[in-house]
């Protein structure tokens, strides 16, 4: 993701991540780096919290499996509703 030409993105940008995501490929603490590099006409960063796994675990590759925080377990409807609000011109 970080090797892409993010500066070329001019469309609206919504980055959604989970605070407890400890996957080395999608660390929550680097989500702001993505939005900062884009040239989107509208940008928003949304951090989801809660769910069955708490933050604080060390980053790892196994954290990229299913039923991890970046799957938004038990939060799917809430996340989808936020994405739809953004797509309609509102805030997440």
Whole-model pTM? 0.82
pLDDT score for 85? 98
Q: How many CB atoms lie within 10 A of CB 79?
A: 16
73: in domain: yes
1: in domain: no
92: in domain: no
Domain span at residue 45 reads: 6-87
The per-residue pLDDT string of the chain (92 residues; one tens digit each, 9 = 90 and over) reads: 677 899 999 999 999 999 888 888 778 888 899 899 999 899 999 999 988 776 667 667 776 777 777 788 889 999 999 999 999 999 99
32: in domain: yes
Rounded Cα gap, residues 31 and 52, in angstroms: 21
Non-local CB neighbours of 58 within 8 Å, separated by 6+ positions: 22
Rounded Cα gap, residues 76 and 56, in angstroms: 22
The total number of structural domains in the chain stands at: 1
pLDDT score for 54? 67
Q: Where are the beta strands (DSSP E) in the chain?
A: 13-18, 43-48
């Amino acid at each position: 993701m970080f090797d892409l030409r993010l500066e070329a993105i001019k469309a609206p940008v919504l980055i959604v991540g989970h605070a407890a995501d400890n996957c080395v490929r999608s660390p929550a603490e680097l989500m702001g780096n993505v939005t900062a590099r884009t040239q989107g006409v509208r940008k928003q960063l949304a951090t989801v919290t809660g769910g069955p796994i708490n933050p604080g675990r060390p980053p790892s590759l196994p954290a990229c499996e299913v039923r991890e925080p970046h799957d938004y377990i038990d939060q799917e409807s809430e996340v989808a509703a936020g994405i739809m609000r953004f797509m309609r011109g509102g805030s997440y």
